[in-house]
């Protein structure tokens, strides 16, 4: 099986890459920095998903034959500033939308054109896409847009199963960034600060395993749905 993973160099994407490399699958990664692995089944390209005009060329470098990916994780994402929306300029919003939404739109367009389309696409969303907490402006709006992007592309990829998946809290660089921001100013952060080291914020390897374990079950739900992993598949 060929697995395309965006944002495979760190965090959740790196953990997903390791799982599929360990299973003997072909892993195709797109990040700005390469994953430091010597593995014959790993093919990677350095690309900045902010530079949306270069995405098509990067994908062509990654897949040089008619074979495309069977499974896709649209995982790359950036948090942007935690700040009041009225303190956030439009250029910042645009940069976050480029990585979290428009890069994924372009990858989906490329997948629509492939002679052989993937069986499953997982876009990594967030609970922030629906919670609307103070301070989460650019990230929340981008993930809400991602949810709708996936719902809409489900019509255009009728033979592929798509899910916008909120994975729950994961102890990655993104959470380290969140821990630098005061929960006094942004109260919703307190729960995240407190979750470090607890079962509710597992390391990326554990979170990636949880995601992989629910992939078949996700296919029984309507294509295009937003699914919160913690609610749909609670850990017993
Ligand atoms: N961590 C959490 O608690 C949590 C919770 C809910 C949802 N999520 C979502 O899970 C996904 C993975 O997050 P994470 O926590 O693993 O984050 P992370 O540790 O910060 O990793 C982000 C990945 O995205 C890549 N990336 C970022 N900007 C990029 C760009 N401009 N071009 C290409 N690649 C770029 C990074 O690679 P390079 O820096 O090498 O480019 C890296 O591989 C994200 O979509 C995030 O929104 C995370």
Q: What is the CATH number of the domain that holds 107?
A: 3.40.50.720
Q: How confident is the model at residue 67 (pLDDT cuts 50, 70, 90)?
A: confident
Phi and psi (nearest 5°) for 5?
-130, 120
Count Cα atoms within 13 angstroms, Cβ side, for 178.
25
Answer yes or no: is pLDDT of 136 > 90.
yes
Answer yes or no: is pLDDT of 20 > 90.
yes
From the CB of 228, is ligand 1 less than 6 Å away? no
Cα(27) to ligand 1 centroid in Å equals 17
Place of tokens 């294509």: 223
Asked if residue 236 is part of any domain, the answer here is: no
From the CB of 13, is ligand 1 less than 6 Å away? yes
What confidence tens digit (pLDDT) does each residue in 73-115 have?
A: 999 999 999 999 999 999 999 999 999 999 999 999 999 999 8
Answer yes or no: is pLDDT of 235 > 80.
no
Asked if residue 224 is part of any domain, the answer here is: yes
Asked if residue 160 is part of any domain, the answer here is: yes
Residue length of the chain: 236
Asked if residue 137 is part of any domain, the answer here is: yes
Number of domains in the chain: 1
Residue of 7, 125, 180 to test ligand 1 pocket, by largest number of atoms within 8 Å of CB: 7
Answer yes or no: is pLDDT of 25 > 90.
yes
Cα(118) to ligand 1 centroid in Å equals 22
Residue of 8, 31, 128 to test ligand 1 pocket, by largest number of atoms within 8 Å of CB: 31
| Residue 6 belongs to domain spanning | 2-230
Q: With 0.85 as the threshold, say if the pTM is over it.
A: yes
User: What is the separation of C-alpha 78 from the centre of its chain, rounded to a whole number of angstroms?
Assistant: 9
Average pLDDT over residues 146-150: 98
Asked if residue 235 is part of any domain, the answer here is: no
Asked if residue 124 is part of any domain, the answer here is: yes
Residue 87: CB atoms within 10 A of its CB come to: 10
The whole-number pLDDT of residue 65 equals 80
Cα(138) to ligand 1 centroid in Å equals 15
Asked if residue 180 is part of any domain, the answer here is: yes
Cα(94) to ligand 1 centroid in Å equals 17
């Amino acid at each position: 099986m060929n697995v395309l993973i965006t944002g495979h160099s760190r965090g959740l994407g790196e953990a997903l890459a390791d799982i599929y490399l360990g299973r003997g699958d072909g892993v195709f990664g797109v990040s700005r920095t390469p994953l430091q692995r010597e593995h014959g089944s790993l093919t990677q390209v350095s690309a900045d998903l902010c530079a949306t005009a270069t995405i098509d060329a990067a994908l062509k470098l990654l897949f040089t034959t008619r074979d495309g990916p069977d499974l896709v994780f649209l995982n790359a994402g950036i948090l942007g500033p935690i700040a009041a929306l009225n303190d956030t300029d439009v250029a910042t919003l645009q940069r976050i939308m480029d990585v979290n939404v428009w890069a994924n739109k372009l990858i989906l367009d490329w997948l629509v054109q492939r002679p052989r389309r993937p069986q499953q696409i997982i876009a990594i969303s967030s609970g922030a896409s629906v919670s609307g907490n103070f301070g989460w402006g650019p990230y929340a709006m981008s993930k809400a847009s991602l949810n709708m992007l996936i719902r809409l592309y489900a019509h255009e990829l009728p033979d592929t199963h798509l899910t916008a998946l909120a994975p729950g809290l994961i102890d990655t660089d993104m959470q380290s960034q969140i821990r630098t921001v005061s929960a006094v100013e942004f109260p919703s952060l307190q729960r995240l600060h407190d979750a470090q080291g607890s079962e509710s914020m597992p390391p990326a390897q554990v979170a990636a395993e949880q995601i992989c374990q629910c992939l078949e079950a996700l296919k029984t739900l309507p294509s295009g749905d937003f699914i919160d992993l913690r609610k749909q598949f609670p850990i017993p």
